[in-house]
């Protein structure tokens, strides 16, 4: 083992992450740039900053920190990890300059926090409305055929909807209207579509035959369709439902949400609001034996396809739905840095609005990479639509850096923090120009028309955080 500290440690970390930073920097620029790496006898390519880091970074602690930061950013933002890496590398290099070393890291972190209002103002001044969606998608490196489908899916979903991307038998856009949720059919066989359905929604496990028998008998007598969605359906209750369904006595379906625990409860509450049902829940004081016709929800049509339930023209109360949407939006804000939880809340919000789209990519040798590219393009497009854009190709970031130039800073920490921000903002543009040098005019690819403003701001924050984190490591014990 060996112990490192001070400048020796900082030099060791800089040398450790340099290969990954150089490779990532080389990937930025004209469409089609990527890094080739070897795994045994197999040659593969990596295109995003996080993907390159996964394959190049070793077990050195500084490389692990870089890789983890890029992978986390990929999950959080869906795009921009190469820009993040070069911004962090530039900020760290600026922090290691002799003039900045005299400032303590804690003071630089405070100075960076003090610069936030000026940064926010500079970003706001350079931000404009996104009015070139086609160019923005094309700049993400998406194939033209897929780019047109992305725009179609985005239009179908609308500003309040959601576009989900997955592999399937063919490439297509599936439009979804009405409330939908993922669920599994409890029972044997397949479920047919049903019109004019009523719904029982229960945040309970239904197992008692006696409580359901009167309800089912009443529906059978009237020839109406019934959907039961509950946290669980088992025992005699399930036997009763299946017996009536298979004998064609009653058009009925029993469903359990695909999610479990608190998420299942959220879906059931959303379903109750969307259909106008009273949620059956003993904790809320509504037991299944208290069920009355007025407590049932309604929808014009029900069908289930590939584990997804679709309810057309659900008869929900607008005020209840608005409350559930507000709750989902609050969760999106609260879980902003927890990608899986945030995506779950975004999905709930879109389905409560009743507008979503599914973009499927045909399975093939490159389909997994295409799915990731499409997801990044959609993330950039929707972020730009919500928060606006800045001029792309690094130019907008350089304009922001120019706006921050002002009086000479006498405080060493403030001077170092300002230099780190300036270096980080200028790094992407410098990489783009360096990587475009020597291209023939017909091969050169113009810089993207725009970058999402919010994404660019978030990437800068993470880059500065990573740089100060690495610069703040005072000592390390390394095992050979």
pLDDT digits (tens, 9 = 90+) for 26-44: 888 755 567 777 777 777 7
Joined together, the tokens standing for residue 247 give: 């004998």
Cβ atoms of 122 and 400 closer than 8 Å: yes
Q: How far apart are CA 251 and CA 469, in angstroms?
A: 61
Share of the chain above pLDDT 90, in %: 26
What's the pLDDT at 88? 95
Helix axes 81-95, 49-56, angle to 10 degrees: 70
* Pairwise pLDDT comparison (410 vs 12), residue with the higher score: 12
What's the pLDDT at 337? 66
Instruction: Give the contacts of 34 (CB within 8 A, at least 6 positions apart).
Output: 27, 45, 46, 47
Asked whether residue 307 carries a pLDDT value surpassing 90, the answer given is: no
User: Which uninterrupted H or E stretch holds 165?
Assistant: strand 162-168
What's the pLDDT at 101? 66
Q: What is the pTM of this model?
A: 0.68
Asked whether residue 344 carries a pLDDT value surpassing 70, the answer given is: yes
What's the pLDDT at 440? 47
Residue range 207-245, pLDDT digits in tens: 876 776 777 777 766 778 889 999 988 887 888 778 777
User: Which uninterrupted H or E stretch holds 152?
Assistant: helix 144-157
Asked whether residue 271 carries a pLDDT value surpassing 90, the answer given is: yes
Asked whether residue 403 carries a pLDDT value surpassing 80, the answer given is: yes
Residue range 166-191, pLDDT digits in tens: 888 889 998 877 888 889 888 777 77
What's the pLDDT at 458? 92
For the chain, give the mean pLDDT: 84
Q: Buried (b) or exposed (e) across 51-87, using 16+ Cβ within 10 A?
A: bbbbbbbeebebbebbbebbbebbebbbbbbbbbbbb
Asked whether residue 443 carries a pLDDT value surpassing 50, the answer given is: no
Cβ atoms of 92 and 467 closer than 8 Å: yes
Q: Running DSSP on this structure, what letter comes out for residue 280?
A: B
- Mean pLDDT to the nearest integer, 323-333: 89
Asked whether residue 446 carries a pLDDT value surpassing 70, the answer given is: no
Q: How far apart are CA 73 and CA 462, in angstroms?
A: 8
Q: How far apart are CA 38 and CA 58, in angstroms?
A: 14
Q: Running DSSP on this structure, what letter comes out for residue 97?
A: S
**Locus of tokens 């299944």:** 288
Residue range 111-121, pLDDT digits in tens: 999 999 999 99
What's the pLDDT at 442? 41
- Mean pLDDT to the nearest integer, 438-466: 74
**Cα–Cα nearest to 270, from 197, 199, 325:** 325
What's the pLDDT at 341? 82
Helix axes 339-353, 61-77, angle to 10 degrees: 0
């Amino acid at each position: 083992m060996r112990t490192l500290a001070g400048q020796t440690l900082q030099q060791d970390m800089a040398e450790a992450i340099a290969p990954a930073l150089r490779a990532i920097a080389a990937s930025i620029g004209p469409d089609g740039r990527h890094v080739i790496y070897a795994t045994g006898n197999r040659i593969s390519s990596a295109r995003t900053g996080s993907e390159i880091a996964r394959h190049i970074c070793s077990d050195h602690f500084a490389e692990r920190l870089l890789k983890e930061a890029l992978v986390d950013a990929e999950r959080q933002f869906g795009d921009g990890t190469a820009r993040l890496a070069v911004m962090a590398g530039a900020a760290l290099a600026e922090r290691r300059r002799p003039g900045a070393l005299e400032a303590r890291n804690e003071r630089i972190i405070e100075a960076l926090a003090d610069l936030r209002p000026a940064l926010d103002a500079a970003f706001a001044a350079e931000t404009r409305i996104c009015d070139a969606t086609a160019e923005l998608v094309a700049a993400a490196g998406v194939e033209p055929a897929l780019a047109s489908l992305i725009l179609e899916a985005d239009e179908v979903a609308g500003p309040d909807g959601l576009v989900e991307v997955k592999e399937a038998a063919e490439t297509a856009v599936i439009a979804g209207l009405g409330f939908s949720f993922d669920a599994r059919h409890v029972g044997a066989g397949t479920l047919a579509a049903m019109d004019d359905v009523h719904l029982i929604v229960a945040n309970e496990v239904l197992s008692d035959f006696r409580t359901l028998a009167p309800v089912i008998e009443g529906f059978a007598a009237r020839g109406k369709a019934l959907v039961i969605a509950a946290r669980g359906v088992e025992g005699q209750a399930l036997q009763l439902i299946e017996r009536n369904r298979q004998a064609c006595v009653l058009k009925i379906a029993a469903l359990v949400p695909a999610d479990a625990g608190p998420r299942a409860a959220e879906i059931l509450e959303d379903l109750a609001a969307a259909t106008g049902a009273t949620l059956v829940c003993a904790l809320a004081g509504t037991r299944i034996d208290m069920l009355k016709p007025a407590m049932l929800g309604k929808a014009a049509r029900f069908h289930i396809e590939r584990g997804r339930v679709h309810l057309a023209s659900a008869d929900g109360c607008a005020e209840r739905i608005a409350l559930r949407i507000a709750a989902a939006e609050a969760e999106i804000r609260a879980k902003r840095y927890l990608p899986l939880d945030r995506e779950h809340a975004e999905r709930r919000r879109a389905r409560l609005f009743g507008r979503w789209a599914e973009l499927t990519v045909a399975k093939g040798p490159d389909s997994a990479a295409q799915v990731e590219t499409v997801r990044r393009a959609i993330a950039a497009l929707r972020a730009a639509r919500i928060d606006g854009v800045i001029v792309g190709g690094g130019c907008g970031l350089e304009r922001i850096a120019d706006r921050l130039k002002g009086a000479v800073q006498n405080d060493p920490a403030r001077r170092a923090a300002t230099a780190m921000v300036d270096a980080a903002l200028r790094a992407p543009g410098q990489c783009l120009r360096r990587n475009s040098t020597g291209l023939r005019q017909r091969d050169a690819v113009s810089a993207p028309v725009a970058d999402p403003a919010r994404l660019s701001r978030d990437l800068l924050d993470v880059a500065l955080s990573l740089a100060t984190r690495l610069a703040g490591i005072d000592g390390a014990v390394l095992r050979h």
